[in-house]
Structure 1
Amino acid sequence: MILTGLLLGAALGYVLQRSRFCVTGAFRDLYMARSSRYFVPFLLAIAIQAIGVAALTGIGVIAPEPASFAPLAVVGGGFLFGIGIVMAGGCATGTYYRAGEGLLGSWVALIFYALFAAVMKYGPLAGFNDAARARTVGDTTIQETLGVSVWVPVVVFSAIVAVLVVRQIRINARHRTAKLPARRTGLGRYLADVVWNPWAGGVLLGLIAIIAWPLSTAAGRNGGLGITTPSAKIVTFLTTGDVTLVDWSVMLVLGILVGSFIAAKASGEFRWRVPDASTMLRSGGGGVAMGIGASLAGGCTIGNSLVETSLFSYQGWVSFLAIMLGTWGAAWIFLVRPQKAAAASRPAPVLTPAA
């Protein structure tokens, strides 16, 4: 049954590569460009999953267990993770699918991300990580605090997202861009030539997130999509040979690499790309921050910002905000400030008197 993880991961990798869907870009663009072009589709993915998970739970197919809430670890870890994904040039899933495209900088970020997630979860810093995550508060979910059914936050959130979707569609209609001609016709055109719009990415991400729950449950793992823990398990397996670590979630993340590689090859976008030394160093540092931050926060932009938010857990939503703030802070340090410095250093134009 764990092979279903590989198949679903391949589908996820294919969708991410063709839609260019990355939460880092969604958060960054919201700050730098005041654009919600990817942010609202990401909220739509959360809403779709929330409805699906609540329905599957109601009929007894799955039994989700929201994460306990450790405020200091979640806020600090989420903020650090947000900084890391800007340095690395992509969130956890974004790093995986870009590695599948042949970006060596993403491979560096991915290796350090998985390595330091393993250090935090199974290695010398496991004690520190466990102690930080043990400082929890009472309630774990919004519905638990309010004493209501999970359907209450699901309906309210879905209604808010529906309003934002309508608004975003109207904005997109006013800013249509020209599309390049496709090389193929028919189904191949849509599968390989045309870059899928963010709505396709958001809807498919939400549906894949729903499917992950029963498939993972059938394989003996109670959970949905996850990236950080399985990445740490891969490193630990490679160093210890413990085959019990190779579960459904490990197959999922390996599948992302496979799916994105297939999509990149089919579209002609795969090629090995070697960044300069400074970019490689920053990618490695970003990977370190991602691994440590995601371990402390209990998840990444998938495990927390997509999955735990759909359960309306405090860990999910607080981490969501902390990651976003970390992304904005890093965007200012690494992107906005250098741009302003470069603009300030340019000589002023010389004005010549009119003849």
Structure 2
Amino acid sequence: MAIPSNVMKDTSAEKHPSLPSPQKMKIAIGIIIIVLLSYAIMNTAGLKNTMTMWVGLLLGITLFHARFGFTSAFRRLVSVGNGQAMRAHMIMMAVACTLFAPILSMGFGFFGNDPSGYVSPVGTSVIVGAFLFGIGMQLGGGCASGTLYAVGGGRTAMFITLIAFIAGSVLGAWHWNFWVNETPSFPAISLATSTDLGYVGAWVVQIILFGLIFGAAYYFDKKRTPPTIKPLPSEKGWTRILRGSWPLWIAAILLAVFNALTLLVRGTPWGVTSAFALWGSKIAMFFGIDVTEWVYWSGERAASLDQSVLMHSTSVLDFGVILGAFLASTAGGIFTLKKVGFKRMSAAVIGGIMMGYGSRIAFGCNIGAYFGGIASFSLHGWVWMIMALAGTFLALYLRPLFGMSVPKPKDTFC
């Protein structure tokens, strides 16, 4: 897909605020943690999970350098019609499904993997879960990937969101059987394998949809002239790679490539929130709650409860994202923890619980269901996007109750 220079506006041409000096001690601590964690994963789970963690590092670095968001993209689009970030999403999706199609069709993967995409049923659980997630991410201040890279970047409120996210994931796992098995649902539908389109035909259909959404976002930008995204602090020249902001379209391409690499390395696309359900359920077991009685923890998932989290590929991916964002933020000299007010803390708790619960019953979050689902040619990914946008619309009326801003037509926002 060709990207006209006037369509994906790069703020590199605008004046970027300067950055403070690198936080060398924190960088050193981050590197030591990465080395020790890599050693522990290698000894516990082997090369496959070690490589998975390192792919997570690349994802975290990319997310932070571009401040690549899903929460803010949906909020800007719904509130003032700014489609800059949404256009980046469509570029990311187009590149991802272009890479996923041959991998999935040929069954090629590393470590003897037989890769499989995220193709899930389309039913009540996805509709309700994605809607709850859309509300939750606007109150919590970030989506699943956003929460991880914001924690790595030192945003204090996101530590609270993460804890609540884990709690909500446990509640979602507890109620999973009701939503998934006892409410109305269609079976899993792949545009590639559940129809006569095949991967080539499904790819063509999705590329057309991405182009239409991209074009519509660009048209409304020109028609409504909404506020643009303010340039982020950055260095100039080659140092911008390590200490600065990256254009959204560059990050979109890199995230798609790294997601495809994740598919090759571990056999499934990038995911985030199944790890939260695991961490929370292990904590629940420690306090005497028998989560093994829940349907969610039956079958293949059950083994994870008795194993080290280093054996769980999504967990090590998440660790990598956090550490990658930590390295990027400390290299930019901007890792700083701040106090959080009561209203913001309340929003973080409510939003985190809603995201955790919603992602469990909707077969994933903005990464696993939206990004991974659509890239895997699953219809549930498109349904997830629509319902999360609907949840975002409602959340715009709830954010002011917690002292949180909503973009206005004359704003300039980060």
Structure 1-normalised TM-score? Answer: 0.84
**1:69 aligned partner:** 121
d(CA) in 1 for partners of 2:213 and 2:389?
18
Contact 2:86 2:214 in 1 (8 A): no
The equivalent of 2:356 in structure 1 is 291
Letter in 1 for 2:171: V
Corresponding residue for residue 229 of structure 1: 274
Q: Within 2, Cα distance between the matches of 1:112 and 1:88? A: 9
Kindly provide the amino acid, as one letter, of the partner of residue 229 in structure 1: S
Letter in 2 for 1:101: G
Alignment-derived partner of residue 142 in structure 1: 191
Unaligned runs of at least 5 residues, structure 1 = 218-222, 344-355
In 1: Cα distance, 2:196 partner to 2:247 partner: 39
Secondary structure, counterpart of 2:366 in structure 1: coil
Corresponding letter in the other structure for 2:67: R
| Structure-2-length-normalised TM-score | 0.72
Change (3 A) 1:202 1:145: same
The alpha-carbon deviation at position 237 of structure 1 amounts to 3.9
Partner of 1:158: 207
Q: Which of 280, 294, 301 is matched with 2:366 structurally?
A: 301
2:243 paired residue number: 192
Which residue of the other structure, out of 228, 253, 259, is the alignment partner of 1:209?
259
SS at 1:322 equivalent: helix
Q: Is the 8 A contact 2:133 2:354 kept in 1?
A: yes
Shift of the 133–70 alpha-carbon distance from structure 1 to 2, 3 Å rule, reads farther
Cα distance, 1:93–1:279 mapped onto 2, change above 3 Å: same
Tell me if structure 2 keeps the 8 A contact 1:29–1:36.
Answer: yes
Q: Is the contact made by 1:237 and 1:245 (CA closer than 8 Å) also made in structure 2?
A: no
Q: Which residue of 1 aligns with 2:148?
A: 96
- 1:37-56 to 2 correspondence within 5 Å? 37-56=84-103
CA deviation map 1:159-213 (0-9, x unaligned): 44346657878969x9998968855x653233213x1121112111111111110
1:243 aligns with 2:337: no
- Whether the aligned pair in 2 keeps the contact of 1:24 and 1:90 (CA below 8 Å) is yes
Q: Using the TM superposition, give the Cα deviation of residue 324 of structure 1 relative to its aligned residue in structure 2, in angstroms.
A: 1.2
Q: Letter of the aligned partner of 1:270 in structure 2? A: F
The verdict on how the C-alpha distance between 1:69 and 1:163 changes in structure 2, with shifts beyond 3 A counting, is closer
Gaps of 5+ in 2: 1-47, 109-113, 287-304, 409-414
In structure 2, the partner of 1:271 is 336
* Secondary structure of the structure 2 residue equivalent to 1:299: coil
Q: For 2:333 and 2:404, how far apart are their aligned partners in 1?
A: 32
Amino acid of the structure 2 residue aligned with 1:104: T
- CA distance in 2 between partners of 1:164 and 1:70 (Å): 22
- Structure 1 residue 331: deviation in Å? 1.6
Q: Secondary structure at the match of 1:138?
A: strand
CA 1:292/1:268 → structure 2, altered by over 3 Å: closer, same or farther? same
Deviation at 1:300, TM superposition (A): 0.3
Note if contact 1:13-1:259 (Cα within 8 Å) is conserved in structure 2. Answer: yes
Counterpart selection for 1:118 from 170, 173, 181: 170
Aligned length: 329
8 Å Cα contact 2:149-2:322 kept in structure 1:
yes
Amino acid at match of 1:216: R
- Return the letter of the residue paired with 2:258: I
Say if 1:209 and 1:340 are closer, same or farther in 2 by CA, change over 3 A.
closer
SS of 1:292's partner is helix
Shift of 1:115: 2.2
**One-letter code aligned to 2:373:** E
Q: CA deviation at 1:57?
A: 2.0
The residue number in structure 1 matching 2:395 is: 330
Distance in 2, matches of 1:179 and 1:82, equals: 26
C-alpha change, 1:234 and 1:289, in structure 2 (3 Å) is same
Q: Deviations over 1:13-32 (max 9, x none)?
A: 11111101110111111111
> Does 2:61 match 1:14?
yes
Indicate if the aligned counterparts of 1:101 and 1:272 stay in contact, CA closer than 8 A. Answer: no
Deviation at 1:278, TM superposition (A): 0.7
Query: What is the one-letter code of the residue matched to 1:161?
Result: F
Helix, strand or coil for the counterpart of 1:3? helix
For 1:276-322, what per-residue CA distance to the aligned partner results, in whole angstroms no more than 9, with x for missing partners? 11100110110000010111111000001100111221221111111
Whole-Å separation in 2 of the counterparts to 1:165 and 1:22: 17
2:179 corresponds, among 112, 132, 141, to 132
Whether contact under 8 Å (1:93, 1:227) holds in the other structure is yes
Using the TM superposition, give the Cα deviation of residue 98 of structure 1 relative to its aligned residue in structure 2, in angstroms.
0.8
The aligned counterpart of 2:157 is 105
Tell me how far apart the structure 1 counterparts of residues 348 and 106 of structure 2 sit (CA, whole Å): 44
